[in-house]
């Protein structure tokens, strides 16, 4: 019956009866943009194709990993070749060793790593390892940074965030929240205060080196270096959550880009070419605490899955061969600088943050350098912008607080279409300067 339905609206109605909100990840319900979700039939290069047959220029790119575009022929061939040899072994194989080798070659701070199945698993496991090696319980995270949906990270600032956070989701216990401290991104003083009030209790700081989950916000000059110094001073580990930035900012991720070395790094979807995968890694002496070498338990039936490894190897080999980073950053700058001109001439109040090939258009604000400014963005206006762009065949991430991503497959024609659409939509938003 479902096979005959080729209409997004109808599919969503059926889905709502079968899955919470009709989706398998909340943002896909389009609730933040007041629209009905589009159902995708297939994707290729820079384009998504809906089940109705409409084509969209995609700036979501599966939330970042598809740096070489959708359905890259070399990656899909690698997956196909691997699939005919078996989709899962639950046993060791050559491809997982090769993927680990490629990652450690590109990211010198990762001497050893463990492959997992998602970014959530990677951050959750890195935190467990940090707690085990330091013998401490607490973790400092930043308001607005996202590290997946494990309990320790679903924490918001309560009245005493520097001494303990409060659960941001029902089902997270106050006990879990008590071990998570909230600091302000790009504000070193707030980190120092966390350490001062929790002396010898903090196992780690976890940070998105470039914030991507409150919209793109680059680290202020000296911020990441300052985190490194605070961790060293206080005997805590520094975890760079590079689920977005790893292999997108450059082969060495944000650590290389900003010249700051973390103790542990978490990676996600990009190292599986878009297939479900993640990893956490760092110095051998830390990783050798993981079972079976050490006592820190962490395991997974599908970890090191051969299809994900085959895709990841091909993805990394292509990135190493072509090093598309400068070109991608130039493309992003070319697109967003005309977008900025369009914004200025429209009279709509908005600003754009960009780092490498990722960017966010924030509405209703002049500049965004931290959480508070990001939160003052006009999400209603973003919703109207999103709907207008979608109507014109431009698929943006469906929430204000997300990053747009450019792939090597985006073309000049894609950008022209995007800029024409943007001008038209800005004109409908009127002036609120």
Q: Rule CB under 6 A: which residues touch ligand PLP?
A: 63, 118-120, 123, 146-148, 208, 212-213, 241, 243-244, 268-269, 278
Return the beta strands (E) in 184-315 as ranges: 202-207, 237-241, 264-267, 278-282
The active-site residue, picked from 47, 138, 141, 269, is 269
Angle, in degrees to the nearest 10, between helices 379-391 and 412-429: 130
297 is known as an active-site residue: no
| Residue 403 Cβ vs ligand PLP, minimum distance, rounded to whole Å | 8
Nearer to ligand PLP, 119 or 144 (CB): 119
Nearer to ligand PLP, 122 or 426 (CB): 122
| Residue 121 Cβ vs ligand PLP, minimum distance, rounded to whole Å | 7
The active-site residue, picked from 58, 179, 241, 263, is 241
| Residue 28 Cβ vs ligand PLP, minimum distance, rounded to whole Å | 12
Nearer to ligand PLP, 253 or 364 (CB): 253
- d(CA 428, CA 433) in angstroms, rounded, equals 14
Instruction: Tell me how far CA of residue 90 lies from CA of 78, 86, 231, 302, 380, in angstroms.
Output: 20, 11, 37, 7, 47
4 is known as an active-site residue: no
Neighbours of 53 (CB within 10 A): 8
Q: Which of 106, 71, 58, 408 is nearest to 247 (CA)?
A: 106
- d(CA 96, CA 215) in angstroms, rounded, equals 33
146 is known as an active-site residue: yes
As given in the structure block, the two tokens for residue 292 are 């079976």
- d(CA 189, CA 203) in angstroms, rounded, equals 18
Q: Which phi-psi region, left, alpha or beta, contains residue 143 (left: φ > 0; alpha: ψ -120 to 50)?
A: beta
Q: Which residue of this chain has its Cβ atom nearest to ligand PLP in the complex?
A: 119
- d(CA 168, CA 297) in angstroms, rounded, equals 27
| Residue 240 Cβ vs ligand PLP, minimum distance, rounded to whole Å | 10
The active-site residue, picked from 56, 59, 138, 146, is 146
Instruction: Tell me how far CA of residue 273 lies from CA of 55, 80, 119, 154, in angstroms.
Output: 23, 13, 14, 27
Instruction: Tell me how far CA of residue 365 lies from CA of 237, 344, 352, 378, in angstroms.
Output: 35, 13, 10, 8
Nearer to ligand PLP, 119 or 304 (CB): 119
Nearer to ligand PLP, 240 or 363 (CB): 240
| Residue 63 Cβ vs ligand PLP, minimum distance, rounded to whole Å | 5
| Residue 277 Cβ vs ligand PLP, minimum distance, rounded to whole Å | 8
Nearer to ligand PLP, 146 or 363 (CB): 146
Q: Which residues are catalytic?
A: 146, 241, 269
């Amino acid at each position: 019956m479902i096979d005959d339905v080729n209409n997004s609206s109808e599919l969503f109605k059926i889905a709502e009866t079968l899955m919470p909100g009709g989706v398998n990840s909340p943002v896909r319900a389009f609730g933040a943009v007041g629209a009905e979700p589009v159902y995708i039939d297939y994707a290729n290069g820079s384009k998504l194709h809906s089940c109705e047959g409409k084509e969209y220029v995609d700036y979501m790119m599966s939330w970042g990993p598809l740096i070489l575009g959708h359905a890259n022929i070399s990656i899909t061939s690698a997956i196909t070749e691997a699939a005919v040899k078996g989709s899962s072994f639950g046993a060791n194989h050559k491809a997982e060793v090769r993927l680990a080798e490629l990652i450690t070659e590109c990211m010198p701070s990762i001497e050893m790593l463990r492959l997992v199945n998602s970014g959530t698993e990677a951050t959750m496991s890195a935190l467990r390892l940090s707690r085990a090696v330091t013998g401490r319980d607490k973790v400092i995270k930043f308001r607005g940074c996202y590290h997946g949906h494990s309990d320790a990270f679903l924490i918001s600032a309560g009245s005493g965030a520097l001494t303990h956070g409060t659960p941001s989701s029902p089902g997270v216990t106050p006990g879990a929240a008590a071990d998570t401290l909230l600091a302000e991104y790009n504000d070193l003083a707030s980190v120092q205060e966390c350490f001062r009030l929790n002396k010898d209790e903090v196992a780690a700081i976890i940070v998105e080196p470039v914030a991507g989950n409150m919209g793109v916000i680059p680290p202020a000059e000296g911020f990441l270096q300052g985190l490194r110094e605070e961790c060293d001073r206080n005997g805590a580990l520094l975890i760079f959550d590079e689920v977005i930035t790893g292999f997108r900012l450059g082969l060495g991720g944000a650590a290389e880009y900003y010249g700051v070395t973390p103790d542990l790094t978490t990676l996600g979807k990009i190292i599986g070419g878009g297939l479900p995968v993640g990893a956490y890694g760092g110095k051998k002496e830390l990783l050798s605490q993981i079972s079976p070498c050490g006592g820190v338990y962490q395991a997974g039936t599908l970890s090191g899955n051969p299809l994900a490894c085959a895709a990841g190897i091909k993805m990394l080999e292509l990135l190493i061969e072509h090093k598309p980073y400068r070109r991608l950053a130039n493309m992003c700058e070319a697109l967003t600088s005309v977008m900025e001109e369009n914004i200025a001439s429209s009279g709509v109040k908005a600003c754009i943050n960009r780092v490498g090939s990722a960017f966010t258009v924030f509405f209703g604000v002049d500049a965004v350098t931290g959480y508070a400014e990001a939160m003052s963005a006009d999400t209603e206006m973003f919703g109207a912008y999103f709907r207008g762009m979608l109507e014109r065949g431009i698929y943006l991430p469906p929430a204000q607080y997300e990053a747009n991503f450019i792939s090597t497959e985006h073309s000049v024609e894609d950008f022209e279409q995007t800029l024409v659409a943007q001008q038209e939509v800005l004109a409908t938003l009127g002036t609120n300067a």
